[in-house]
A and B are shown apart, each in its own frame.
Chain A
């Protein structure tokens, strides 16, 4: 059972556009929601994370929006660049939990 559903599977945007990647979860005990970025041939790396006590978090060009009532969260990339082309994974874990549950990933391509 997929506890974290991620969409879309792939996304192509033009340079300067704002790609949006969405995730939905079912387990209301989840209280930590990170996003990881993975370049081809590399391991994932933490991009940004949010906890449900805030509705939005920004770090540079990356923003997480969180909707607790809808059990959804999303990643927005402002002024996207070709260097942002990568696979993005959302994830979630419970309080005190040792395990991250990952979404299935979104392959983003930013074209010139």
Chain B
């Protein structure tokens, strides 16, 4: 049981480049989330999904897109990376509302 896994672990992008972060969970959870973590800002929700085929905006969605084509996967896309998107990105999943969110190990992204 791997829990929540994230790919890649680290990535360097140039401004304007695009990339996709992959999150996978093997706990059959309905809910999945993408957060970004910045120093002094805590964790901020980017987008989330309450089930396969659904997505919704969180607190800081601008510049990001997501897709949940399969229940176990949640993809986060950056169409045109900006230095302000330099951050550590965490994916999480949960069984339902107000239940434990299980976090992945994070993806460190540097945009130059």
Contacts and interface: CB of A to CB of B under 8 A. Distances in A.
Contact of A97 (B59, B90, B97): B97
Interface in B34-54: 40-45, 48, 50
A102 B42 contact: yes
Contacts of A105: 40, 42
A42 B98 contact: no
Interface residues of B, number: 24
Interface in A12-56: 32, 34, 41-46, 49
Contacts of A61: none
A103 B97 contact: no
25 contacts: A32-B98, A34-B100, A41-B105, A41-B106, A43-B90, A43-B105, A44-B90, A44-B103, A45-B102, A45-B103, A46-B101, A89-B43, A93-B97, A93-B98, A96-B97, A97-B98, A98-B31, A98-B56, A98-B97, A99-B58, A99-B59, A100-B43, A101-B59, A104-B41, A104-B42
Interface string A82-108: 000000010001011111111111000
Interface in B90-109: 90, 92, 97-98, 100-106
Interface of B: 4, 31, 40-45, 48, 50, 56, 58-59, 90, 92, 97-98, 100-106
Q: In this complex, which of B41, B45, B101, B106 has the most chain A Cβ atoms within 10 angstroms of its Cβ? A: B101
Nearest to A4: B42
A41 B105 CA distance: 7
Contact of A100 (B41, B45, B104): B45
Given A6-B42, A93-B98, 11 more contacts: A32-B98, A43-B90, A44-B43, A45-B103, A93-B97, A98-B31, A98-B50, A99-B48, A99-B59, A100-B45, A101-B59
Nearest to B31: A98
